[in-house]
Amino acid sequence: MQQYEVEYLQFAFRWMNNLLMRELPLRCTIRLWDTYQAEPEGFSHFHLYVCAAFLVRWRKEILDERDFQGLMILLQNLPTMHWGNEEVSVLLAEAYRLKFAFADAPNHYKR
């Protein structure tokens, strides 16, 4: 993404501001938010890991893009409308993996 000068704010603002509601079907959003509510730190802390897991999930497609415009279109229109419980469960599992891998790292995200 740095190669095409894409800043995280250009796509992640919507992910953070809308808690992925525009990126996922309603049934998936409900499942996602249910997990957020069960988290001890709440929405904001775990949501960061879910967004990172989203990037991991679409890594190949992101790396295949060849220009700024294509990358932005992909990041703002991810093909998730067919997603169901299984895909969200995989996304959440990856988010938990990232959380447990990096939560105690010395230079990690601080509250």
Q: How high is the mean pLDDT of the chain? A: 90
CA distance linking residue 47 with residue 37, whole number of Å: 11
- The domains located in the chain, with CATH, are 2-102 (1.10.472.80)
DSSP-based three-state secondary structure for 83: coil
pLDDT band at 107 (very low <50, low <70, confident <90, very high): low
In the chain, the amino acid numbered 51 is C
pTM metric for this prediction: 0.87
Evaluate if residue 1 carries a pLDDT over 70: no
Mean pLDDT of 57-64: 95
